[in-house]
Every structure is written in structure tokens, then in C-alpha cells.
A and B are shown apart, each in its own frame.
Chain A
Amino acid sequence: KAGVTQTPRYLIKTRGQQVTLSCSPISGHRSVSWYQQTPGQGLQFLFEYFSETQRNKGNFPGRFSGRQFSNSRSEMNVSTLELGDSALYLCASSLELGTGVAYTGELFFGEGSRLTVL
């Protein structure tokens, strides 16, 4: 069974540009979450999508956005890049059968997309 796939793995951008990151979840997983990982800050929650709807959103500015497609694949976009956006962006999928239905809660992470903003 294929794991969570994130593309691209590495990218370099300059301030002011925008970037789009892609995530393909494990087959059958309908919940996709995005996290930003920086040294000393740990993993900070960006947003979560379930069945093409944003279900939760973290405390990030509106420059950070995302979407989920009908096949559960997800993209996140960062516009007007700032130096502080340099980070590892992790996508995680989770098997959830539906709201209120018990599930394990386990997140399956991809290897991340490392963004460097110059």
C-alpha cells in the first residue's frame, strides 16, 4: 500500500513569489491535514480537509490556503512568500469513516516538502 506522497520534495523561492505543494493521501483516506515544521517550533497545524471541505484551520495568515479534490488529493498554496515561511511542510492523511464514527486518529505523514525562501 503506497504511503502519503508529497511533491515537490525540495524547492527554492524568492520573497514575494507564491508556491503550491501537493499531497496524495493513502488510498481510502479522506482526511488530509497540513503542518508546518520549523526548528524549535515543532509541528504547527495549518488546516485539515475532509471530503473537499476545510474542517479545521490553524492560526496562520490568509496567505496560506489549501483545497482538496474529489479524489482526496490536496494542495496547499502560500502567496507572497516571506523569509519566515521557510520550513518543512508536512501532509498527513487519516482514515476516518465519517463524523462521529470511531477511528484510530493515527496520522500518516508524508516525507514533506522543504521550502526555502530567499
Chain B
Amino acid sequence: GENVEQHPSTLSVQEGDSAVIKCTYSDSASNYFPWYKQELGKGPQLIIDIRSNVGEKKDQRIAVTLNKTAKHFSLHITETQPEDSAVYFCAASKPPNTGNQFYFGTGTSLTVIP
């Protein structure tokens, strides 16, 4: 089965700095890579995703890059703000006709220091 590894497990940055979270996956058949943000007491919420036919995707201060050859993808948050403090999870999934089964990383607890 798929194995997703995520690093670092904790990350502290000063407000305004950038934050980078990295994930690797093992199954070359995976083709959909979402990132979820989980705030305290809430369920995870999708913030950005990328499919295997795209190398990079950006949405305002958030960007995701994908390297299919190396089987790794990264989340980049620029100009961090205190409200970015949360736990971030990367995930990998296979084509839709196999159903909604996602393999998640173990999470990165991001703290943005004002």
C-alpha cells in the first residue's frame, strides 16, 4: 500500500517568514495530493491540492509543488500570519475509480510567532 511521510513534525516561524512542509509518497500510481489544515477542535479542511499532471499550483500565499520522479511534494506558505498556526496534513490518493481512500502524513504543527 501507499506510505506517506511528512516532515517536519513541528515548525515555528516568525510572522512574515515562509514555511515549508515536505512529504514523500511511495506508490507511483497515486495521482492526487491534497493538503489539509486542522485548527484546534475542528476537522481538517482542504487548503490546496495538486494532481500528477501539474508541477506547481498557487493560491495567494499558499503554493504546492510536485516532483513525480522523486515522489515528493511540498507545501509553501509565504508571509505567514498568526492565523496560519494549525496542524497541516499532506495526503495521497489514487484514481477516483478506486474510491475515496486517502493516505495521510503524520502532520506538521505550525506555530507562527507574532
Contacts and interface: CB of A to CB of B under 8 A. Distances in A.
A, B assembled together: yes
Interface of A: 4, 31, 33, 35, 40-45, 48, 50, 55-56, 58-59, 90, 92, 94, 96, 99-103, 105-107, 109-112
Given A35-B104, A100-B96, A102-B96, 11 more contacts: A42-B106, A43-B44, A43-B89, A44-B104, A90-B43, A103-B96, A105-B100, A106-B49, A107-B44, A107-B102, A111-B42
A10 to B, nearest CB: 11
Contact of A111 (B41, B97, B103, B104): B41
B96 to A, nearest CB: 6
A102 B32 CA distance: 12
B45 interface: yes
A50 B99 contact: yes
Nearest to A103: B96
A33 B43 contact: no
A8 B49 CA distance: 30
A112 B91 CA distance: 19
Most chain A beta-carbon neighbours within 10 Å: one of B93, B101, B105: B101
B8 to A, nearest CB: 13
A42 B102 contact: no
Given A90-B43, A105-B34, A109-B45, A42 B100 contact: no
Contact of A45 (B34, B89, B101): B101
Interface string B39-65: 001111110010000000000000000
Interface string B57-83: 000000000000000000000000000
